[in-house]
Amino acid sequence: MNPGFSILALIVLMGAVGAMTLRNLVHCALSLAVTFAGLAGLYLALGAEFVGLAQVLVYIGAVAILIVFAILLTRPLDTAQARPFSATWVAGLAVALIVFGVLSMAIHRSGVGADRVALSGGVTVREIGDLLMTWYVVPLEVVGLLLTVALIGAVIIALREEAPRAEDAAGDGPGKGIGKEKEPGHREP
Amino acid sequence: MNGMREAADQIFVNAKHWLVEWMPPALQPLSSILLSVSAIVSVFALLFAITTIVERKGLGRFQNRLGPNRVGPFGWLQPVADGLKTLTKEDVVPRAADRLVHFLAPLALVVPVFLAFSVLPIGRNMAAIDLDAGLLFFFAVGASSELAVFMAGWSSRNKYSLLGAMRAIAQMISYEVPLIVSSLTVVMMAGTLSLVEIVRVQADFWHGLPQWHVFTPWGLAGFLLFFVAATAESNRSPFDIPEGESEIIAGYYLEYSGFKFALFFLGEYLGLFAVSALAVTLFLGGWSAPVSLLAWLPSWFWFFAKLCALIAVLIWVRATLPRLRMDQLMRFAWTFMLPMALINLVVAAVWHYVGGGLAGWLIGAVLLAVPYVGLGLLLGRPGGFRKRTYRFAD
């Protein structure tokens, strides 16, 4: 085992343990970002340049930000929790074990790793692009369509909430300003 | 003559090779890395110092005042005094702050920004690493600075800081989309993500004239879109609402003092240089000379000349335009920048199939001008910019 792999694996594991055990939810999210960075490092060390950089771009640049935004928008600013274990940790553990079992079985059966091909000098981005645009073009388009539908759906769900608010504001008419400004946020559902 | 030109062009490359060869063989890879890193760190930090004084003096001129003029001849040593001041100032951390995250945030901002310079070709044979996916690397490290902004804003336990961080992140995520989409046109046409290759594609001359991407319809539109998005991405005026000093004082780095504040300042300006340098690389021909008559000047000179020109334009824009409001900012990104960037992809594809020339120019101009005017009329119509009702603040 080479030292680079050991260091990166240690970073990944420590980040994951931190994400599980830290008291403060934002600390957990930042710790998870460390795990993402470590995974990206592992991909880069394996010569998968495109996957490693896409991991940084998507997971650190978007997913981690999404998680901290979700935490901040749904909870009070002081996010410290009393205990790292929730009341339903046994059920959570069971679900995690089942998911792990199903995934590892699926990977084991799919025969990945059985036909190992020696790669010379890693895969270039051009080859990945060629494959995505020819052999895998249908899955790519389906995934793109699915994500676009999800995006539009999210926007529609977010818009629906505003419709009664707009009527409400219009119905209030003039002269609403001063009294309301004194207690901000109270009228929010 | 040719030999001298070659020597001046490659002077830094040769100097590095000479220094590395002088090392024992076991230390050669390490010393090569260290030399490249220290060159990037020192040159761009120096450029940061020069830019601060040029910007302060320039803004002074724009606003009809003198600007800094006390330290050294005509005030040109002001950056030295500023640097000493920030180094010796007390480092104040709020008692309620999350100390570890508060400490890590400036580092998490500055380190990725320095990493971004490693893939930029500063001159001929002068990229620290020639990555196959260089452009992707640049955007990946750029995206990781958003988390640093969040760390700074959240850990300060100050509502202005948190508001500033939220604004900054929302803005950076929104403008990242047109930034990446507008640079995709170059990737489509050059057929590579390697920044070294992208410059090489543009470096040849056609009858003594340059073949930069900016001299095509998709390149011109792409450059303008990229430059506007880059201004927003680096939180520069007129998109500097995340640090609007009149409303949220300084945004996410409000609770930072001393050298940590200087690191934020450094990170912000280095991000500006990096994204301007990327604009130079993608659209303005990188290190290549503007006309073949001037190709005798070294390649690194042209790179820095173009970079400084872009920085000067940004200072000029900052002094000229008023700050946008938050909702105007978002609206501009999603209803104007993004559609134009997507249309620009189509223009690039048409240019590719028509094969350039006059027909390509005509079709490209029509394809770009019609939506430009249409979107402008649609968004600027009466009632298009009506009074905003705020959901969480009215």
Local mean pLDDT, 10-residue blocks, chain B (394 residues): 74 80 80 85 89 88 85 83 86 82 88 88 81 87 86 84 84 88 88 85 78 83 91 80 68 81 88 91 84 79 90 89 79 86 89 81 83 81 61 58
Nearest residue on chain A to B146, alpha-carbon basis: A61
Cβ atoms of B156 and B95 within 8 Å: the answer is no
How far apart CA A53 and CA A100 sit, in angstroms, is: 26
Q: Which amino acid is at B94?
A: P
Rounded to the nearest angstrom, the minimum Cα separation between A139 and chain B is 21
Query: Given an 8 Å threshold on Cβ–Cβ distance, is B136 in contact with A54?
Result: yes
Question: Distances from the Cα of B351 to the Cαs of B213, B223, B344, in angstroms?
Answer: 12, 16, 10
Q: What percent of chain A has pLDDT over 90?
A: 21
Examine the predicted complex and report whether its ipTM is higher than 0.90: no
Pairwise pLDDT comparison (A177 vs A27), residue with the higher score: A27
Q: If pLDDT is split at 50, 70 and 90, which confidence band does A172 have? A: very low
pLDDT digits over A119-164, tens only? Answer: 555 667 788 888 888 888 999 999 999 999 998 998 888 776 555 5
- Check CB contact under 8 Å for A49 and B131: yes
Give φ, ψ of B57 to 5 degrees: -70, -40
Question: With an 8 Å Cβ cutoff, are A30 and B147 in contact?
Answer: yes
For residue A70, pLDDT beyond 90: no
Query: How far does B53 lie from chain A, in Å, by closest CA?
Result: 33
Identify whether B238 is preceded by a cis peptide bond (ω within 30 of 0): yes
Q: Distance from A151 to chain B by nearest Cα, in Å?
A: 14
* Mean per-residue pLDDT of chain A: 77
B136, B150, B391 ranked by CB distance to A65: nearest: B150
Give dist(CA B199, CA B124) in Å, integer. 9
A68: which chain B residues are within 8 Å (Cβ-Cβ)? 147, 150, 154
Give the minimum alpha-carbon distance from B172 to chain A in angstroms, rounded to a whole number.
Answer: 10
Tell me which residue in B133, B144, B191 faces A60 most closely, judged by beta carbons: B144
Residues of A in contact with B146 (CB under 8 A): 61, 65
**Contact across the interface for A77 and B162, Cβ inside 8 Å:** yes
Q: pTM value?
A: 0.83
Cα separation, A12 vs A30, in Å, equals: 13
The answer to whether residue B137 neighbours chain A at the CB level (below 8 Å) is yes
Looking at residue B359, its pLDDT comes to 81
SS (H, E, C) chain B: CHHHHHHHHCHHHHHHHHHHHCCCHHHHHHHHHHHHHHHHHHHHHHHHHHHHHHHHHHHHHHCCCCCCCCCCHHHCCHHHHHHHHHHHCCCCCCCCCCHHHHHHHHHHHHHHHHHHHHHCCCCCCCCCCCCCCHHHHHHHHHHHHHHHHHHHHHHCCCHHHHHHHHHHHHHHHHHHHHHHHHHHHHHHHHCCCCHHHHHHHHCCEECCEECCHHHCHHHHHHHHHHHHHHHHHCCCCCCCHHHCCCCCCCHHHCCCCHHHHHHHHHHHHHHHHHHHHHHHHHHCCCCCCCCHHHCCCCHHHHHHHHHHHHHHHHHHHHHHCCCCCHHHHHHHHHHHHHHHHHHHHHHHHHHHHHCCHHHHHHHHHHHHHHHHHHHHHHHHCCCCCCCCCCCCCC
Those residues with Cβ within 8 angstroms of residue B58's Cβ, 6 or more apart along the chain or in another chain = B67, B312, B315, B316, B319
Residues of chain B positioned with their CB less than 8 A from the CB of A180: 394
Token pair belonging to A94: 């069971």
b/e map B357-367, b = 16+ CB within 10 Å: eeebeebbeeb
Q: Do B140 and A56 touch (CB under 8 A)?
A: yes
Residue A77 has pLDDT above 60, yes or no: no
Distance from C-alpha of B242 to C-alpha of B168, rounded to nearest angstrom: 5
B65 in contact with A at a CB cutoff of 8 Å? no
pLDDT tens digits for A81-110?
556 667 788 888 899 999 999 999 998 887
CA closest to A27 among chain B residues = B101
pLDDT value of position A184: 39
Tell me the Cα Rg of chain B: 22
pLDDT, position B93: 81
Q: In chain B, which residue's Cα lies nearest the Cα of A50?
A: B133
Which residue of A50, A65, A181 is the best one to mutate when testing the B interface, meaning the one whose CB has the most B CBs within 10 A?
Answer: A65
- Pick from B98, B101, B146: which is nearest to A65 by CB? B146
Q: Do A169 and B132 touch (CB under 8 A)?
A: no
Per-residue pLDDT at B98: 81
* CB contact B119 to A (< 8 Å): no
Residues B92-121 pLDDT 10s: 888 877 888 888 888 888 888 888 888 888
